[in-house]
A and B are shown apart, each in its own frame.
Chain A
Amino acid sequence: QVQLVESGGGVVQPGRSLRLSCAASGFTFSSHAMHWVRQAPGKGLEWVALISYDGSNAYYADSVRGRFTISRDNSKNTFYLQMNSLTTEDTSVYYCARDRDRRSSIHVFDYWGQGILVTVSS
């Protein structure tokens, strides 16, 4: 069965960095684009970043471009979100999610992790 498990969250001071990981299992990881989506407390969903199935392309929301970097290691079935220059506005539950279709540019999310909380506070 498909599983996505996030790790690396926690409390961090403004201006500092944090790296999230998402470990995938139960499917051919190297065939699917992967995403990070976040949800601030009591708010809606915000797409954060996408990495293509082979890692050759990455796309970002304007709110994180230049501060966050998405990457993947297909040999480890894991992808990452490096978050730098964090602000209080980045406080959210961060979900990793899978593209439904293999090697596709159709970005519908069929599996999600349980989410991990990142709190940016002094």
Chain B
Amino acid sequence: DFVMTQSPDSLAVSLGERATINCKSSQSVLYRPNNKNYLAWYQQKPGQPPKLLIYWASTRESGVPDRFSGSGSGTDFTLTISSLQAEDVAVYHCQQYYTSPLTFGGGTKVEIK
């Protein structure tokens, strides 16, 4: 199975500052024939289901603010919130969809400092 490891487990960032979350896969999720990384990011607010933010490692889902961006390739990925807003307090999860079983990282909790 592909093991997804997120870091840090939690972070506190001041409003308007940058938040950076890392996700590392135990194996590459880059599919060479189409040069796409099979990696998605989700945001989960307390008491709510997850919400899709980014897929193909860097493609924002429709309606997601452009302060959210994804980067990386192969085994190492990053979700960046460029200017943290109060409504961004949540747990963020990465997920690989390169192969079954689909697997998620353990989640990163983002709070306001």
**Chain A residues with a Cβ under 8 A of chain B:** 35, 44-47, 50, 59-62, 95, 97, 100, 106-110, 112-115
Contact = CB atoms under 8 A, between A and B. Distances in A.
Interface of B: 1, 38, 40, 42, 44, 48-52, 55, 61, 93, 95, 97, 100-107
A50 B55 contact: no
A45 B101 contact: no
A110 B104 CA distance: 15
A117 to B, nearest CB: 12
B100 A108 contact: no
Given A100-B55, A108-B40, A108-B55, A44 B107 contact: yes
Contact of B52 (A45, A50, A59, A110): A110
**Which of A106, A108, A110, A115 gathers most chain B CB within 10 Å?**
A108
A114 B55 contact: no
A107 B50 contact: no
A61 B103 CA distance: 9
A108 B107 contact: no
Nearest to B36: A106
A44 B93 contact: yes
B76 to A, nearest CB: 19
A61 to B, nearest CB: 5
Nearest to A96: B49
Which 6 residue pairs are nearest across A and B when measured between Cβ atoms?
A112-B49, A47-B102, A45-B104, A107-B97, A108-B55, A44-B106
Contacts of B103: 47
Contacts of B38: 106
Contact of B49 (A47, A59, A114): A114
Contacts of A47: 101-104
A112 B105 CA distance: 18
23 contacts: A44-B104, A44-B106, A45-B44, A45-B95, A45-B104, A46-B104, A47-B103, A47-B104, A50-B100, A59-B101, A60-B101, A95-B49, A100-B52, A100-B55, A106-B38, A106-B97, A108-B97, A109-B52, A109-B95, A110-B52, A110-B61, A112-B49, A113-B49
Nearest to B40: A108
